[in-house]
Structure 1
Amino acid sequence: MFKLDLSLDAAPISAAFLDLQQKHLPFVLALTATRLAQRVKKGTIAVMKQRLDRPTPTTLNSLFVKYAVKNGQPAKVYFKDSWTSGIPADTYLQQAVGGGQRPHKRFEKALIARGIMRGSEYAIPTAPFMNQYGNVSRGTMTKILSGLGAAETRTGYQANASGSARSKRKGNALWFFSGDVGGSRGVWERKSMGMGDAIRPAFVFSGSAPSYRTIFPFFKIAENIVKANYSAEFAAAFAQATATARP
């Protein structure tokens, strides 16, 4: 989260500014901070499109602005930190913003909890299972976890494959399995071919944590946008306050 909490000490002082009645100053600072926050959002999205690898519409729409309030909250630019389902943007963008090693994802934690994958391993998806954004869809991961008996369960709902007729029709337990094939550990898919069945890897287990360099320094980008536009936005807010101020 990037905050714009402007104070009178940061304001460019002029004779006209000193003549402005004290009661209008909070409005000028709040309006300046809000407009700068809107600039930060617009500029950040432009950088995301350039630097992130095929960002999804959900990722690009996950940045929000909270307006500043006179004598109250500062303006804020932040990534949504919760969704009705899935992983929020402020979680999965951490490596792009700060770099470093990737922590285990929910999918990997489920495999580790079931004893399918070691705690020191990471699941790396293969190309056939990734969508146009380079991700594996939630639906595909749910099918795999169900087939492996590692899906999350909750009261009144069982996601794991079972011996029921409905579960057998889905075939998740038949098509997905884990193990060592040809010296490679991972999750595999059985495919029915014309000449018989074949298998292909869905996820390959790696003993090394994926590492990321900082490709999207959000806070530095925001600071640069504020520095470049502060004077102009303050002048515009000051002019608006002066024009609308009551005598």
Structure 2
Amino acid sequence: MMKFGVTSNLAGVVDGWASVAQDQVPYATAVALTRTAQEAKRAVEAALPSVIDRPTPYTMRGFRLWPATKTKLVAEVDFRDSFGKGSHARDYLAPQVFGGTRKLKAFERSLQRVGLLPAGMAAVPGAAAKIDAYGNMAQGQVVQLLSYLRAFGEQGYRSNITQKRKDALSAGVKGKRGMSYFVGRPGGGKKPLGIWLREEFGQLGSSVKPVVLFVKTPTYRKRLDVPGISARVIKERFTPNMHMAMRQAMSTARRPVGPSKIV
């Protein structure tokens, strides 16, 4: 788990504000901490495209801010939980921050559950994969593969293709060439293990193309220096943010009213 908080010894900053009511100090501190954490979060997000090729909007929203309060003077930035049925941001961002291997994606877990993806291996796009604008395999093709390979779980079993439909696709329909998917090592075992597309050309024979290749689960080195980025932002921005918050607190603080004098 990645988490960093913004905390500080406030003595040096508060010395110059001795005249401010003490109940304004916690409020100003919480504001300064939260602003600094927001700036650190933005700095981390700005660094993402330099370590991840064409990060998706989902990835760019992979960090979440928990603001400081008057009673909890710590602002935190951590990985965001998943959106709906998607993967947790921690699963694929943590290896970039800490190094190590990433967790399997939902597609890979489905293939592994039905015994198609061997343990210790990951699935990567092959030459026949359809790629979206972010360099990932198109979701429509992922769904097509899971359906064809009958890899949907119990909740999605109705999405799995029937044998009758498989036979029709293999024979070719409405003038289209026949096609089928299979998992294996074509070419007499000389080609890499993966999911392959076989296209039928009638009397001209057939061809096979790799859609997904199974490779050893990659190990990542640390590339996104979240601790270093946040430390730099804290050093540069906390004191200015604290002074600004204190000035705002002073401008909005209620001034004590002295006793009335009757003349």
Q: TM-score, normalised by structure 2?
A: 0.80
2:136 counterpart SS class: coil
Q: Within 2, Cα distance between the matches of 1:169 and 1:230?
A: 66
Q: In the TM superposition, what is the alpha-carbon distance from 1:170 to its structure 2 partner?
A: 7.4
Q: Does 1:123 align with 2:123?
A: yes
2:16 counterpart SS class: helix
Q: In the TM superposition, what is the alpha-carbon distance from 1:14 to its structure 2 partner?
A: 4.9
* Residue of 214, 221, 241 corresponding to 1:233: 241
Quote the residue 2:149 is aligned against. Answer: 148
Tell me the alpha carbon deviations over residues 140-177 of structure 1, each in whole angstroms, 9 at most, x when there is no partner.
Answer: 2221122112222317x522211366x77777x95211
Q: Number of aligned pairs?
A: 242
Q: Which amino acid aligns with 2:208?
A: I
How large is the RMSD of aligned CA atoms in angstroms?
2.7
Q: Within 2, Cα distance between the matches of 1:68 and 1:29?
A: 8
Judged with a 3 Å threshold, the aligned counterparts in structure 2 of structure 1 residues 233 and 150 are, in CA distance, closer, same or farther, namely: same
Tell me the alpha carbon deviations over residues 83-104 of structure 1, each in whole angstroms, 9 at most, x when there is no partner.
Answer: 1132132222111111112333
Quote the residue 1:71 is aligned against. Answer: 71
Judged with a 3 Å threshold, the aligned counterparts in structure 2 of structure 1 residues 193 and 25 are, in CA distance, closer, same or farther, namely: farther
Contact 2:61/2:80 (<8 A) preserved? no
Quote the residue 2:39 is aligned against. Answer: 39
The equivalences for 1:44-193 within 5 A come to 44-72=44-72, 74-129=74-129, 130-154=131-155, 157-163=157-163, 175-182=180-187, 183=190, 184-192=192-200
Contact 2:195/2:212 (<8 A) preserved? yes
More deviation, 226-235/105-114: 105-114
Q: In the TM superposition, what is the alpha-carbon distance from 1:239 to its structure 2 partner?
A: 1.2
- Structure 1: which 5+ residue stretches go unaligned? none
Q: Within 2, Cα distance between the matches of 1:193 and 1:168?
A: 15
Tell me the alpha carbon deviations over residues 37-63 of structure 1, each in whole angstroms, 9 at most, x when there is no partner.
Answer: 221122112111233211112211333
Contact 1:146/1:161 (<8 A) preserved? yes
Contact 1:80/1:89 (<8 A) preserved? yes
Q: Within 2, Cα distance between the matches of 1:58 and 1:168?
A: 38
Identity within the alignment, %: 30
- Structure 2: which 5+ residue stretches go unaligned? 171-177, 256-263
Judged with a 3 Å threshold, the aligned counterparts in structure 2 of structure 1 residues 101 and 138 are, in CA distance, closer, same or farther, namely: same
Q: In the TM superposition, what is the alpha-carbon distance from 1:188 to its structure 2 partner?
A: 0.4
Q: Which amino acid aligns with 1:149?
A: R
Q: Within 2, Cα distance between the matches of 1:108 and 1:52?
A: 20
* Residue of 198, 202, 206 corresponding to 1:197: 206
Tell me the alpha carbon deviations over residues 164-208 of structure 1, each in whole angstroms, 9 at most, x when there is no partner.
Answer: 66x77777x9521111112222110123559453210112222x3
Q: TM-score, normalised by structure 1?
A: 0.84
Q: Within 2, Cα distance between the matches of 1:223 and 1:186?
A: 44
Contact 1:2/1:219 (<8 A) preserved? no
